[in-house]
Structure 1
């Protein structure tokens, strides 16, 4: 592949200097894009019955309306992040949003199941190009200090709130319009982002060099097989031949990846990013948090609709307290990091998640929303706000500008892999618990088993917070002070 072209310097004055008065529009654009990308991973969930009726999907094929997006997004993130490092993050970001927007339009017009699945996969590919660039552009647009801290909080809130916002928006659009609206809604937003990007975003410096082809193949195929393995495990079980084959292939490729990268002149994933103990801890915290949260939302959605009898719209609004608690807790993170450092903040957030998930293990057929759902979702929302924002701060701290795309892609890969892992594990436990329950109680018993598995993820997250991060010595500058 030819050398990367020189970076495009035709940026609007708003972005020049990184952090002038014009950075507000840049932040709104980047956070808005991240919100849309994450929302699209969940917005179709509530619309799936309507999709099945409209296009004639089989039960097995219907799950791939969600999985096609997840697989492409998770598998291509590392490649998308490194492409931005070499070619310029604004250029790759805008190209990714353009692909995502065109695929959304195509999906909304779909007349056959195959057409819709292809469009969803293309959406995921576009998201994998745009996602890492949006976080990397935060680092290049906003200077160290309070401006960047505020930008990272807004960006993290947008990403994490998107998991819940997708359920609310999906319920609204499906109830008031049709399932096609959950795809068409992306089109005007995407067109606006592509049009505004050259005006409000400053291009990041490109780097002369070539793509690490061997590393790109190993990480892309390995990540794709890993995500596919978790998806397959949730559908067919952990011992099914394709599940085992996917995991074996992923293990082989990802084990080969460090050796390939250590020999590459310009690796797609610089191994020195793993040399910081706190950064590695942040990546793992993100993985465990998303595993617990995705599984919790999956089974709570079922519980509220199947057991409590809520409709799609009421179900979506039932998760709004999660978003409110998440936003409230997130706003406190920069101040808490400056005062206490990352370990206490991570531990406090993980502890809130543990209590919320432990509460959910007590659900019964007679539970009510106020007694059994509201408290846990508030606790989990607050815990997620603390952990997710702190993990983003730590993961991106002191990353060289030329490697911000790789670090951003790795952080977001942990989110995508964690989402697939969490659903796969909790679905497996749900099935096992339901089979062992008395007739008539199997549905709720299965869910209680799933929430118990989710509790294990949150306990692991708390243990990780206590052991993985360096304790701040007296007088030592905390992570939050230089972000």
Structure 2
């Protein structure tokens, strides 16, 4: 007789942990290799941003569809499909011979991640429905998630310097094989209830609209904002996004996102905050990686090591957020974390072409890292306040999508502005001016996020200590 996945909780936890580590690793491992990728494949300064955009847009745009597909067709089946796509794209990306090849591989990686990430989390949720085992399982999941992001920059730097940039893509292949082997051993769960067909058209419209919007913005390095090419591109992008809204409102299928959710101020505020946070963070990783290597002349391996203080700051901020979470309201933590991170970014904006790691990077890395860590748990818990139980998964998926889409939009806008400030000269002084402007504007985006928290989110009291165990359990589940 076939056992359900819950009969193998340890195996399920191991499979999901490996998957989450890989997804988190991939979000950061490429950043340190960007200068070498540009030199190896001939990317332009603006074109290089598409190594990030291609992944973020397909991942963020298709994440909700991935969750719906996992619920309809089975979590294990969708997880296996996502892993296969992700591993194959990583292998092909490592063999890329032209910029377009790598961008296409990164886009397929994003599609695979959009399938495997929600399916893996859903498997974990159903395998550990309640109790201490659930808290422990989600604690391990959260730790692996943080470890993947923290180690990604270090691993990326070491691989780039000692094995070549292609290995930041190849490294995913053995991890994928291990995850596939673990997932294959899981027994198939009972067939899921099929309430309605997933809204594929909505997912395609949203992803195409966002991609065209980013494309129009980054192409302003070649075509002015008022040129027919730019105006037409942006107009078509807006039309596609408007069509997405109409489809979500009128579709007979199960929509990706019920528009009525946005009547909930917690949902709207948390996602607006998260979009701005994602925009600032993705841009900062991009600019600081280039600053350390192109301006200060730091090698890839040492660059990876020099990102560690930020990672340690995030861990410290996350621990502090848990300790303060039952004394301060989530809104207070979001404001405090946002202000701290903005302070760190404004400090980053003072970088100098003649600077050093100790003088220009270490201090702001710690401040921004702690601030970012303070934001992570409160924004997740806020995003599902007042949401019906059957829509909490959708609300959580929407939050992940908003961060990825924010990352791509933020990098498109700030990367383009920085490129215009740098101009045709690629001297360390000119590059420094562009990166400094981009980092300063990241601080402005974070101040915008703080303003959202103050004006959109309602004032609430901190959770009572009496409900600490249940609330902590729910928070981990949502994260």
Report if TM-score (shorter chain) is over 0.5: yes
Residues 116 and 426 of structure 1, relative CA distance in 2, 3 Å threshold: closer
Residues 96 and 378 of structure 1, relative CA distance in 2, 3 Å threshold: same
- 2:131, 2:374 → 1: CA distance? 19
Structure 1 residue 307: Cα displacement: 2.6
1:286 paired to 2:280 = no
Deviation track 1:94-135 (CA, whole Å, cap 9, x = no partner) reads 311121112222333445655544433322211121123334
8 Å CA contact 1:110, 1:116 repeated in 2: yes
- 1:283, 1:384 → 2: CA distance? 15
1:211 paired to 2:202 = no
Q: Compare 398-407 and 410-419 and name the one that shifted more.
A: 398-407
1:453 match? 441
Residues 238 and 135 of structure 1, relative CA distance in 2, 3 Å threshold: farther
Q: Compare 331-340 and 171-180 and name the one that shifted more.
A: 331-340
Match of 2:404 among 416, 422, 447: 416
1:81 paired to 2:64 = no
8 Å CA contact 1:95, 1:130 repeated in 2: yes
2:178 match? 192
Which runs of 5 or more residues in structure 2 are unaligned? none
Structure 1 residue 86: Cα displacement: 2.3
Residues 474 and 198 of structure 1, relative CA distance in 2, 3 Å threshold: same
1:393 match? 381
8 Å CA contact 1:157, 1:326 repeated in 2: no
Residues 418 and 63 of structure 1, relative CA distance in 2, 3 Å threshold: closer
1:14 paired to 2:8 = yes
Structure 1 residue 54: Cα displacement: 5.4
1:316 paired to 2:321 = no
Q: How does 1:36-47 map to 2 (within 5 A)?
A: 36-47=22-33
Deviation track 1:161-206 (CA, whole Å, cap 9, x = no partner) reads 6555433222111222223322221112112222223556985944
2:241 match? 254
8 Å CA contact 2:248, 2:256 repeated in 1: yes
- 1:191, 1:146 → 2: CA distance? 31
Deviation track 1:352-381 (CA, whole Å, cap 9, x = no partner) reads 102211212222233321122111111111
2:332 match? 344
Residues 236 and 197 of structure 1, relative CA distance in 2, 3 Å threshold: farther
8 Å CA contact 1:93, 1:134 repeated in 2: yes
1:467 match? 455
- 3-state DSSP class of the match of 1:338? coil
Structure 1 residue 344: Cα displacement: 1.5
1:301 match? 289
TM-score normalized with structure 1 length: 0.83
- 2:317, 2:120 → 1: CA distance? 23
Q: Report how many residues are paired.
A: 467
1:176 paired to 2:162 = yes
- 1:194, 1:99 → 2: CA distance? 11
- 1:81, 1:449 → 2: CA distance? 38
- 3-state DSSP class of the match of 1:444? helix
Residues 151 and 243 of structure 1, relative CA distance in 2, 3 Å threshold: farther
Give the RMSD, CA atoms, in angstroms.
3.5
8 Å CA contact 1:140, 1:401 repeated in 2: no
- 3-state DSSP class of the match of 2:327? helix
8 Å CA contact 2:36, 2:165 repeated in 1: yes
Residues 149 and 380 of structure 1, relative CA distance in 2, 3 Å threshold: farther
Q: Compare 55-64 and 384-393 and name the one that shifted more.
A: 55-64
- 1:420, 1:396 → 2: CA distance? 24
- 3-state DSSP class of the match of 2:30? coil
Deviation track 1:14-41 (CA, whole Å, cap 9, x = no partner) reads 34xxxxxx4xx54454344233224324
8 Å CA contact 1:346, 1:465 repeated in 2: yes
Residues 414 and 117 of structure 1, relative CA distance in 2, 3 Å threshold: same
8 Å CA contact 1:321, 1:378 repeated in 2: yes
Structure 1 residue 138: Cα displacement: 4.4
- 3-state DSSP class of the match of 1:269? coil
Q: Compare 39-48 and 74-83 and name the one that shifted more.
A: 39-48
Residues 407 and 228 of structure 1, relative CA distance in 2, 3 Å threshold: farther
